[in-house]
Structure 1
Amino acid sequence: MNWRRLWAIVLKELRQMRRDRITLAMIIGIPVMQLVLFGYAINLNLRGLDAAIADQARTAGSRALVMDMLATGVIEPVAEAGTPRQLMEALRGGEISVGVVIPADFERRRLDGREAVQVLVDGSDTVVQSAAIQLARMPIGDPRPRLAQPPDAGGQVNGAGGQISVVSFYNPERRSAVNIVPGLIGVILTMTMVLFTGVAIVRERERGNMELLIATPLSRSELMVGKVLPYAVIGLVQTTVVLALGMWLFRVPVQGSLLDVYLASVLLILANLTLGLLISTRAQSQFQAMQMTFFVFLPSILLSGFMFPFAGMPTVVQWLAEVLPLTHFLRLIRGVMLRGAGLWELWPDVLALVAFTVVMMTVAITGFRKRLD
């Protein structure tokens, strides 16, 4: 072992690392990102769940109960509803996660000690389902929000004169696989599609094929679209495999149209492929492309709502998560597969994925030059 030669190699690697700005940024960026995401953005104590309240009684007691529920901070009204049917339509369309029904005979039910209030919950997210049960612990008729005895097996609690019941839809058994498997379609497509196209242009450059492509009459647009289409077929194959195994092994239902499931998957595939192309036009080597892919993949997993509840994140982090394609796909796929919604009912997320794809493809085509330098 010659220590002088060994030290020369160490210095050479350090100098090369210093010149590689992407690697240098990853050395600092990954620890900072993990610290901020895990320490600040991820919150398992859910507050501010999107809700709507149908107060059909409109009495002093019902209004006091509504104020007590809002005071807990568990729910936050974001939509108006006058009937339970309207609440169900809002739940199905993903507008709200919790609906509260106070019937017209609320006062009589409270006096008789019967079920006086129903809390309707989107059970496709088991974490939201658990958080909403906190509302059932509130005693009816007491203006001060306080915890009573835990709910029974049916989600009911005897309050001060009545009962609050929690009714879970779309996943009454609270099986985690029902929530996880649809999300896994998006996670797998995000990881593979971005990575595949992230190294596409760089690989051509490193293998010397770029010289041949430059000599052809291909335009930049034709080259980029041609790179994307084969991987789109691969993405559909992956979607089919995950979907079939999920239905067979974990008995995950498909309440909506199977065509809508594939259309939602196509939207995510195209969004991820164009993002990968943008990475490929910016990276100087396949190693850099993989680093940049990981830099995108980590926030997608942590902030999209796949692993941790979206409602528990700070507002600024939620704004950042809205930029990620996986965030919108999770709303689409869970809405279609678990709630039976159609894509037309979830049009804001459809438009978000289409806009992301158009912007990323435009930037990638603009930034690509048919040159070797």
Structure 2
Amino acid sequence: MISSLWTTIKREFNIMMRGKMIFIVIIIIPLLTNILLGYEFNKDIINKIPMAVYDGDNSSLSRMIIEQFRENDMFDIKYYVEDSNDIKGLIDDSKVRVGMVIPKGFSKDVLETKSPSILMVYDGSHMPIAAAAKKNASEILLTLKTGILMKVLKAKLNLPGDTAEKMALAINFSSRTLYNPTGSYKSFLNIGFGTAIVQSGIAIMSASAIRAAEIAKEKGKRLGYLLGKVIFYGFVGWISLLLNILIQYKIFRVTFRGQFLDAAILSIFLSLAVAAFGVMISSWIRNSIVSTMINSVIFVPNTIMVGYTWPVLSMPRVYKSMANFYPFYHYADNIRDLFLKGLPISEMNKDIIWLLEFTMVVLVIGALGILIIKVKEDIPRISSNKEEEKIAIS
């Protein structure tokens, strides 16, 4: 079996070097995609969001509020409109993504403690932009609200400044975001997206790994042949995953608090699991186009199906159950925790054991497929022998 395994690995390596397709799909395409992803998210956070303002009050207070937004890097005030209804038109035309409406008599109502409102309008068709803008706008307005309240208390009740401050801050709220305090999109998304590209390449190329002509030559060494395929595609995929990690960490400075060795260990288990599944499909389905399509349907939409971009806890129950059967589900959150939280590999034992068990199960199923292929190949040979016997008798 060892000799057959080693022969298979060398054969696949020679095929990769001659035809280049395996190398292109598993190494080159993910490499280029990772570089493009890195540059796409290189700004790290969303800023310079185009904004429109309607100042119906035109007071020193309203101008001070507008100035706070102007000085914030998140916002880029592009338009001052004469009618508040014009803001919707600008958002409809995608000229701005945020609008602010300060009503007439705003400062007067503030002094009279009538609790006037500033209306913020967000373009909900671009959810990441809307979420980032809403967060920063809320922080700015909350800070302004506290300062304005202090001034009103001092003017209305003739209070000293420190007393007015204590009253304005009677309840003080504070928050702290751990592990990704800046809200970096590249730290949140890049590693998972890059992994999804790599595993798609592994799945697609391993889907046509089993070849009838090669099986016919192996005869009693088919288990070694099967393992050789899995090890070869798993190893090449593992190299691609490591390149993905190194590119994001070294070139694009994605936060990496864990150990590279831990990331390498976790990645080899994922790569072998995906390779084993692809080879298993190839051992049962002789049509390479059909087997490739099956693997593509299963592995390409992984980032959505396993909760990397949209949390599993918010999915319907059937999707939650399905997610557990994807190898990427047992890798994605772990690699992100390794990067952002610095969790050690010992915290991931449960998922590593699942990936190992998954690999073993699909290997057994793949071995059964190889044996069935052998039986089917024997049937024509037996029937042809019977035909030869009839001819000899006649």
Query: Shorter-chain TM-score category?
Result: 0.5 to 0.7
1:184 matched to 2:193: yes
- The one-letter amino acid paired with 1:314 is P
Picking from 167, 177, 198, the partner of 2:207 is: 198
Picking from 359, 363, 366, the partner of 1:364 is: 366
**Higher Cα Rg: structure 1 or 2?**
2
Q: Is the 8 A contact 2:204 2:292 kept in 1?
A: yes
Alignment partner, residue 217 of structure 2? 212
- The one-letter amino acid paired with 1:188 is I
- The one-letter amino acid paired with 1:209 is E
Alignment partner, residue 336 of structure 2? 334
Cα distance in 1 between the residues matched to 2:280 and 2:250: 37
Alignment partner, residue 115 of structure 1? none
- The one-letter amino acid paired with 1:164 is F
CA deviation profile, 1:30-56 (whole Å, cap 9, x unmatched): xxxxxxxxxxxxxxxxxxxxxxxxxxx
- The one-letter amino acid paired with 2:193 is L
Instruction: Tell me the CA shift for residue 255 of structure 1.
Output: 0.7
The percent of aligned pairs where both chains have the same amino acid is: 22
Cα distance in 1 between the residues matched to 2:145 and 2:178: 19
Moved more, 172-181 or 152-161: 152-161
How many equivalent pairs are there?
Answer: 225
Cα distance in 2 between the residues matched to 1:237 and 1:209: 26
> Could you say if the C-alpha distance between residues 150 and 321 of structure 1 is closer, same or farther in structure 2, counting changes exceeding 3 Å?
same
Q: TM-score, normalised by structure 2?
A: 0.51
Cα distance in 1 between the residues matched to 2:352 and 2:187: 22
Picking from 159, 167, 184, the partner of 1:175 is: 184
Alignment partner, residue 248 of structure 1? 250
- The one-letter amino acid paired with 2:335 is I
Stretches of structure 2 that go unaligned for 5 or more consecutive residues are 1-126, 147-167, 378-394
Instruction: Tell me the CA shift for residue 238 of structure 1.
Output: 0.6
> Could you say if the C-alpha distance between residues 153 and 325 of structure 1 is closer, same or farther in structure 2, counting changes exceeding 3 Å?
farther
Equivalent position SS for 1:168: coil
Cα distance in 1 between the residues matched to 2:169 and 2:298: 51
Instruction: Tell me the CA shift for residue 325 of structure 1.
Output: 0.6
Q: TM-score, normalised by structure 1?
A: 0.54
> Could you say if the C-alpha distance between residues 210 and 354 of structure 1 is closer, same or farther in structure 2, counting changes exceeding 3 Å?
closer
Equivalent position SS for 1:165: coil
> Could you say if the C-alpha distance between residues 156 and 198 of structure 1 is closer, same or farther in structure 2, counting changes exceeding 3 Å?
farther
Cα distance in 1 between the residues matched to 2:364 and 2:143: 51
Q: Which runs of 4+ in 1 moved over 6 A?
A: 153-160
Equivalent position SS for 1:225: helix
Pairing of 1:1-373 with structure 2 (within 5 A): 150-152=138-140, 161-201=170-210, 204-205=211-212, 208-214=213-219, 217-218=220-221, 220-369=222-371, 370-371=373-374, 373=377
Q: Is the 8 A contact 1:156 1:164 kept in 2?
A: no
Cα distance in 1 between the residues matched to 2:234 and 2:300: 22
Instruction: Tell me the CA shift for residue 356 of structure 1.
Output: 1.3
Equivalent position SS for 1:162: coil
Cα distance in 2 between the residues matched to 1:327 and 1:156: 43
What's the RMSD between the two structures over aligned residues? 3.1
Instruction: Tell me the CA shift for residue 161 of structure 1.
Output: 4.3
Q: Is the 8 A contact 2:203 2:278 kept in 1?
A: yes
